[in-house]
Homo-oligomer: A and B are copies of this chain.
Amino acid sequence: MDVWQAIRERRSCREFAPIPVEDDKLQAILEAGRWAPSVLNKQPWRFTVIKNQELKEGLRESCQNTVEFLHQASGWKWLGRYQVDFLVQAPIIIAVTADPRDTGADQFLPGRGESYAFSCCAAIQNMLLAAHVLGLGRLWYTLYDKEKVKQILGISPHIDLVSMVVIGYPAAVPGSVPRKPLEDLMTVLP
């Protein structure tokens, strides 16, 4: 598939069909992540693949509690209706983790040291595009209690859980979302 088409068509998916994802497709998605750019070529990303139903149930329970906490903390109504059942429905969840010490010289700048996470985000975007090309739905998921989820997945305390990527065949074709026009996003300095 053409790059432009993949970039424009990619949508977030929150409804997954009970169809397993083929191993070669999973490999292709992780390969796409592996080829992302990274600070000092550190390739800080590590991919923890979760297929185990019990672990997914644990993630759902923890993340639904987090959503409930966020609902209280924010007062945002939609969080009161937000269900994270997709964490159990989707056949695959990929936890993208990294060692924060795998960062660049930005670590010596005050308030910085985030480059390792930015590299992981580049890998995730590659993975989302790859999943789309392969006909898979996917979601970039971040609403979790980091420490609790790390405990569930057995991730070491010194490792950062940057994001989770939820993958599976879509049960419904996600609708398109409105986009701001480019004129509102760009400024050319004189």
Contacts and interface: CB of A to CB of B under 8 A. Distances in A.
A144 to B, nearest CB: 8
Contacts of A30: 182, 185-186
A143 B74 contact: no
Contacts of A28: 4
Contact of A49 (B39, B108, B128, B189): B189
Copies in the complex: 2
A93 to B, nearest CB: 10
B45 A185 contact: yes
Contact of A3 (B1, B48, B186, B189): B1
Interface in A30-63: 30-32, 34-37, 39, 41, 43, 45-52, 55
A166 interface: no
Interface stretch (A14-22, A83-91, A111-119): A111-119
Given A52-B190, A115-B142, A121-B125, A185 B7 contact: no
